[in-house]
Amino acid sequence: MIAVGGVALRIAGAGWLQEYPTLEMPLGGLELGVCVVVLAGAALPFAGRSARLGVARA
Amino acid sequence: MRPGFVPVYEARPSPLHTAGAGPTSALCAAFALVCVLYPHPLVLTATLAGVVGCAAAAGVGEQLVRALRIMLPLGLLTGLINPLVYNEGDTVLIRGGTLFGHRFDITLEATMAGLIQGYRVVVFGMAFALFSACVDQDDVLRALRRFSYRSALTAVLATRLVPVLARDAARMSDASRCRPRPAGRLEVARAASRARWSGPWMWRRRWRCAVTRARRGPRARRGGGARGMTGACWPRRR
* Interchain pair B112, A31: CB under 8 A: no
Could you give the C-alpha distances from A54 to A37, A45, A49, B18, B21, in angstroms and in order? 18, 8, 10, 11, 13
- From A16's Cα to the closest Cα of chain B, the distance in A is 6
Taking CB atoms and an 8 Å limit, are B23 and A3 in contact across chains? Answer: no
Is B29 in Cβ contact with A38 (below 8 Å)? no
| Cβ distance of A42 and B53 shorter than 8 Å | yes
With an 8 Å Cβ cutoff, is A46 touching chain B?
yes
The maximal CA–CA distance of chain B, rounded, in angstroms, is 69
Report pLDDT digits (tens) over A1-58: 899 999 999 999 988 888 888 889 999 999 999 999 999 999 998 886 655 555 555 4
Degrees, nearest 5: CA angle B119-B120-B123: 85
The model carries a pTM of: 0.72
The ipTM, to two decimals, is 0.84
Q: What SS3 string covers B72-99? A: HHHHHHHHHHHHHHCCCCCCEEEEEEEE
Virtual torsion, Cα B87, B89, B95, B100, nearest 10 deg? 20
Residue range B48-98, pLDDT digits in tens: 999 999 999 999 999 999 899 989 999 999 999 999 888 888 888 888 888
The tens-digit pLDDT sequence of chain B (238 residues) is 556 677 888 888 888 988 888 899 999 999 999 999 999 999 999 999 999 999 999 999 999 998 999 899 999 999 999 998 888 888 888 888 888 777 888 999 999 999 999 999 999 999 999 998 999 888 888 888 788 878 888 877 877 777 777 777 778 777 777 777 766 777 766 766 665 555 556 666 666 666 666 666 555 555 444 444 444 455 555 5
* B12 vs B20: CA distance, rounded Å: 12
Distances (CA, A) of B134 to B25, B61, B129: 9, 11, 9
Helices and strands of chain A, counted as H and E runs = 2, 0
